[in-house]
Amino acid sequence: MAKGKNKEKDEPRRSNKTSNGHSKRVHHTKGRQETKYSSVMRQAKFPTKLAMWDFDHCDPKRCSGKKLERLGLIKSLRIGQKFQGIIVTPNGKGVVCPNDREIVEEFGVAVVECSWARLEEVPFSKIGGKFERLLPYFVAANPVNYGRPMKLNCVEAIAACLAIVGHQDWALELLQNFEWGPNFLKINKDLLEMYNECTDSESVLQAEKDFLEMVEQERESRRKLKSEVDIWELGNPNKKFDEEEEDENESDEEDEDEDDVYESEEENILIIDVPGPEDEEYDEEEEEELEEEEEGEEEKTKEEDGIEKEED
Ligand SMILES: C[S@@+](CC[C@H](N)C(=O)[O-])C[C@H]1O[C@@H](n2cnc3c(N)ncnc32)[C@H](O)[C@@H]1O
């Protein structure tokens, strides 16, 4: 039973045997009788069958498969037992596609609850079934692998499969059992819309390829744009280095620059010296600092001009 998170509504009492013929465990918590049967009822209520082969690799507190099991939404399968529905597995051949809808509706979805780091320990030949599938590109929303592509946990993998075949409602129903869950559908909204328009595995793979190419192109043009902007913001680099050399010779002034920040006594403003490429902490992305440097440089030039004129 999930700790204090049992959201099950009161269910009508039924036989005290589970679907496997085992006796239902009964827990007495704070005067309330909680039975495993409510879980069984929930599974019966979920619109399709969900199953997993659980290899007990993961911390039960963080394992999404185990949580689904505690909620009675998923059934554990034995090694050697095959599954008739769609099996979302790293061992899959094709990818899940909208054409899988009927299989999902009739026979359900299964996953392999194991650690990503211990996949080689999984006896894939002894589990699985006729419809083993990979998932196309998705980004994980779970706290363990947040933001990482492809490494979905079990509930995300099942939800992704349900959503691809057009059952976003079922996907959401499942994900809502996790605080972060609905975010999975939000961050993958565009991808899902794209996959929903496909038909078979090939068309999903093509959509995935187009999407990844588009992302790469956007990344490339952002990179180009940024480097152009940086060049303009830096001004004339030759001029900058000449000036720095001159500054180095003026050793008295240099002491004031020790922390790269000093105060202009005349105008009482902070002038920040932006580190150059030779400085250890130089960061190309600090655009704001570069802007301030330009302004600082202008101020400095004005000051120096003023001094020279006075000396003249
Ligand atoms: C490796 S387990 C990790 C489970 C995790 N410990 C949890 O809490 O859910 C995740 C399972 O989800 C399914 N899965 C996740 N991402 C997948 C993908 N890109 N392709 C196929 N199956 C995937 C597989 O069944 C995989 O074994």
Please give the pLDDT value at position 45: 82
Instruction: Decide whether any atom of ligand 1 lies within 6 Å of the 111 Cβ.
Output: yes
Q: Would you say 36 and 18 are in contact if contact means Cβ atoms under 8 Å apart? A: yes
Question: Quick check: helix, strand or coil at residue 26?
Answer: strand
Instruction: Decide whether any atom of ligand 1 lies within 6 Å of the 154 Cβ.
Output: yes
Q: From the CA of 304, how far away is ligand 1's center (Å)?
A: 65
Instruction: Decide whether any atom of ligand 1 lies within 6 Å of the 158 Cβ.
Output: no
Instruction: Decide whether any atom of ligand 1 lies within 6 Å of the 134 Cβ.
Output: yes
Please give the pLDDT value at position 283: 44
CA 23 to chain CA mean position, Å: 40
Q: Is 135 annotated as a binding residue?
A: yes
Q: Is 112 annotated as a binding residue?
A: yes
Atom of ligand 1 nearest to the CA of 136: 19
Question: Quick check: helix, strand or coil at residue 141?
Answer: coil
Q: From the CA of 116, how far away is ligand 1's center (Å)?
A: 7
Q: Is 76 annotated as a binding residue?
A: no
Q: Would you say 174 and 64 are in contact if contact means Cβ atoms under 8 Å apart? A: no
Instruction: Decide whether any atom of ligand 1 lies within 6 Å of the 124 Cβ.
Output: no
Please give the pLDDT value at position 309: 37
What span, in angstroms and rounded, lies between the C-alpha atoms of 221 and 218? 5
Q: Would you say 293 and 279 are in contact if contact means Cβ atoms under 8 Å apart? A: no
Instruction: Decide whether any atom of ligand 1 lies within 6 Å of the 109 Cβ.
Output: no
| Total Cβ atoms within 10 A of residue 148 | 13
Residues with pLDDT less than 50, the chain: 1-43, 251-287, 290, 301-302, 304-312
> What residues have CB less than 8 Å from 23, skipping those under 6 apart?
16, 17
